[in-house]
């Protein structure tokens, strides 16, 4: 291991001694990975591997750890399937948990952040129910593409760390079957979902709820350590609500629809993760959905803020067992204002413009009204008008230029040009000399997958990863910093090591 490898296994200490007959209760179960018949490395995130001290692993060692799941040195000795419940499409489900994944390892990075390495498709657990605990190769490819694109567009997201094809034939209702199998490892800031708290509340385990709040504050919100009693819990909830508002605003600015915003798919750090039927919107359509089974549009593009607030209310309900419900409700009432502020931040950042003041949210709403009414291509508009005035000549030669010649666009143009560009030197990047931006629309994804499925041709996948990396470099959004001011201190990191 490299010198900057910093193992920090701490989640397995939760619940220690609580139940001698069931170690880990009520937070997790110790589990074992499936024994796969084959291991073909399809994706290795070398950039992030180097950041956490795992970049010098050979491919054979990589497969041993992330395909066969041999424990990393001085890390978790056994994989942990985390227990949780959740509202799924607003119906409470007490029969879920980590059904095809587990927490494999924990470590600290150069920012002193505690990070998790978790799996998807690693085999059955006590929560698999009737599932096989596997992940299709197409599902793994889609998650890699989603996380790479979201990070490039400025969304704080889990990172697809490893994708290994595992040599099994899987039967699925939503894919031509049999289909190929894979196991994914993701690097993320936390796997503590809202649903973990919901399960503890369902079990009326107030002590465990308090212990988990302490864990989250110690490792994710250390600035709240000095708070005491119920104030501590309410402030923690308010901090999670603020991060959730930012997450949803960043999704909106990216034109992203998560697809399945259940309470078990949102976590306490406000980090985007767990991608199933996601999509990027081709245009600003508030009714655009990602999941074919979302018949009512519950999680449509324009309803994601509503979903975030609703999920927070359920999270707050779980915390109300150990804190005042009225105080928690008051904290949640700030979500609307937090969301408006986050929307202004997110859209101005994506447009490469400096914030101006109180009128900024009105600029965003007028921009979105025009985008929605005009049907202009979502990603192309941001590409054409990045940094405002310095890009005006580029926009006038764009394939979307007809959208900019209308009377309806005139007030939008005026607002955009009224703001100073942020770091206009970014326009010198080769990316902005192209005629069109990188996209990750459903047709892009299906074209990549067809090459893999029909000819085992991975060239389009590799090319897309490279082009998204170019876009990430051009925009320079740092979506990987988790509020440096609130990162765990060195002493906290030492305690967790």
Q: Is residue 357 part of a domain?
A: no
Q: Is 86 exposed, middle or buried (0-12, 13-18, 19+ CB in 10 A)?
A: buried
Q: Is residue 306 part of a domain?
A: no
Q: Is residue 56 part of a domain?
A: yes
Domain hosting 117: range is 11-194+460-467+478-496
The predicted pLDDT at position 479 comes to 82
Q: Is residue 321 part of a domain?
A: no
264 as an active site residue: the answer is yes
Q: Is 64 exposed, middle or buried (0-12, 13-18, 19+ CB in 10 A)?
A: middle
Burial track 412-433 (b if 16+ CB lie within 10 A, e otherwise):
bbebbeebebbeeebbeeebbe
Q: Is residue 173 part of a domain?
A: yes
Asked, as a colleague might, if the bond just before 449 is cis with ω within 30 of 0, I would say: no
The predicted pLDDT at position 18 comes to 54
The predicted pLDDT at position 485 comes to 39
- Can you say whether the dihedral through the CA atoms of 462, 466, 467, 468 is positive or negative? positive
Q: Is residue 98 part of a domain?
A: yes
Crossing angle for the helix pair 459-475 and 442-455, to the nearest 10 degrees: 150
Q: Is residue 37 part of a domain?
A: yes
The predicted pLDDT at position 24 comes to 80
Q: How far apart are CA 165 and CA 456, in angstroms?
A: 12
Q: Which of 12, 109, 211, 264 is catalytic?
A: 264
Q: Which residues contact 492 (CB under 8 A, 6 or more apart)?
A: 112, 218, 219, 222
Confidence (pTM): 0.95
pLDDT in tens, the chain (497 residues): 899 999 999 999 997 655 555 668 899 999 999 999 999 999 999 999 999 999 999 999 999 999 999 999 999 999 999 999 999 999 999 999 999 999 999 999 988 899 999 999 999 999 999 999 999 999 999 999 999 999 999 999 999 999 999 999 999 998 899 999 999 999 999 999 999 999 999 999 999 999 999 999 999 999 999 999 999 999 999 999 999 999 999 999 999 999 999 999 999 999 999 999 999 999 999 999 999 999 999 999 999 999 999 999 999 999 999 999 999 999 999 999 999 999 999 999 999 999 999 899 999 999 999 999 999 999 999 999 999 999 999 999 999 999 999 999 999 999 999 999 999 999 999 999 999 999 999 999 999 999 999 999 999 999 999 999 999 999 999 887 655 334 333 333 333 32
> What DSSP element (H or E) covers 107?
strand 103-108
Number of domains into which the chain is organized: 1
427 by DSSP, 3-state: which?
A: helix
The predicted pLDDT at position 450 comes to 98
Q: Is residue 381 part of a domain?
A: no
């Amino acid at each position: 291991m490299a010198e900057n490898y910093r193992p920090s296994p701490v989640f397995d200490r939760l619940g220690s001694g609580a139940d001698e007959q069931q170690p880990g209760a009520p937070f997790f179960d110790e589990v074992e990975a499936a024994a796969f018949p084959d291991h073909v490395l399809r994706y290795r995130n070398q950039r992030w591997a180097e950041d956490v001290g795992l970049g010098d692993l050979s491919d054979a060692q990589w497969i041993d750890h992330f395909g066969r799941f041999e424990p990393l040195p001085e890390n978790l000795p056994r994989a942990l399937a985390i227990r949780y419940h959740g509202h799924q499409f607003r119906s409470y489900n007490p029969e879920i948990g980590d059904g095809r994944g587990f927490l494999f390892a924990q470590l600290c990075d150069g920012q002193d952040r505690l990070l998790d390495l978790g799996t998807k498709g690693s085999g059955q657990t006590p929560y698999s129910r009737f599932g096989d605990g596997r992940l299709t190769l197409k599902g793994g490819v889609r998650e890699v593409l989603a996380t790479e694109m979201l990070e490039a567009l400025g969304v704080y997201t889990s990172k697809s760390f490893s994708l290994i094809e595992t040599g099994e034939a899987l039967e699925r209702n939503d894919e031509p079957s049999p289909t190929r199998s894979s196991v994914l490892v993701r690097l993320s800031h936390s796997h503590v979902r809202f649903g973990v708290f919901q399960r503890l509340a369902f079990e009326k385990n107030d002590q465990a709820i308090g212990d988990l709040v302490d864990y989250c504050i110690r490792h994710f919100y250390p600035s709240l350590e000095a708070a005491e009693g119920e104030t501590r819990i309410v402030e923690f909830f308010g901090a999670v609500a603020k991060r959730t508002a930012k997450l949803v605003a960043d999704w909106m600015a990216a034109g992203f629809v998560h697809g399945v915003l259940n309470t078990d798919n949102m976590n306490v750090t406000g980090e985007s993760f767990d991608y199933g039927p996601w999509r990027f919107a081709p245009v600003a359509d508030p009714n655009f959905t990602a999941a074919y089974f979302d018949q009512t549009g519950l999680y449509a593009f324009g309803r994601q803020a509503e979903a975030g607030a609703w999920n927070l209310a359920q999270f707050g309900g779980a915390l109300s067992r150990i804190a005042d419900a009225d105080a928690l409700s008051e904290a949640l009432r700030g979500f609307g204002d937090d969301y408006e502020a986050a929307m202004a931040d997110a859209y101005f950042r994506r447009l490469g413009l400096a914030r101006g003041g109180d009128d900024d949210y009105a600029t965003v709403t007028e921009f979105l009204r025009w985008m929605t009414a005009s049907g202009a291509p979502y990603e192309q508009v941001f590409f054409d008008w990045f940094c405002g005035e310095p890009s005006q000549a580029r926009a006038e030669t764009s394939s979307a230029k007809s959208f900019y010649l209308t009377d309806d666009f005139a007030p939008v143009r005026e607002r955009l040009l009224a703001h100073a560009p942020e770091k206009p030197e970014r326009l010198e990047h080769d990316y902005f000399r192209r005629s069109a931006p990188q996209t990750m629309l459903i047709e892009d994804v299906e074209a990549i997958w067809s090459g893999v499925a029909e000819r085992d041709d991975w060239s389009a996948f590799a090319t897309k990863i490279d082009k998204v990396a170019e876009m990430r470099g051009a925009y320079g959004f740092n979506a990987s910093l988790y509020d440096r001011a609130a990162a765990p201190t060195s002493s906290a990191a030492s305690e967790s090591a």
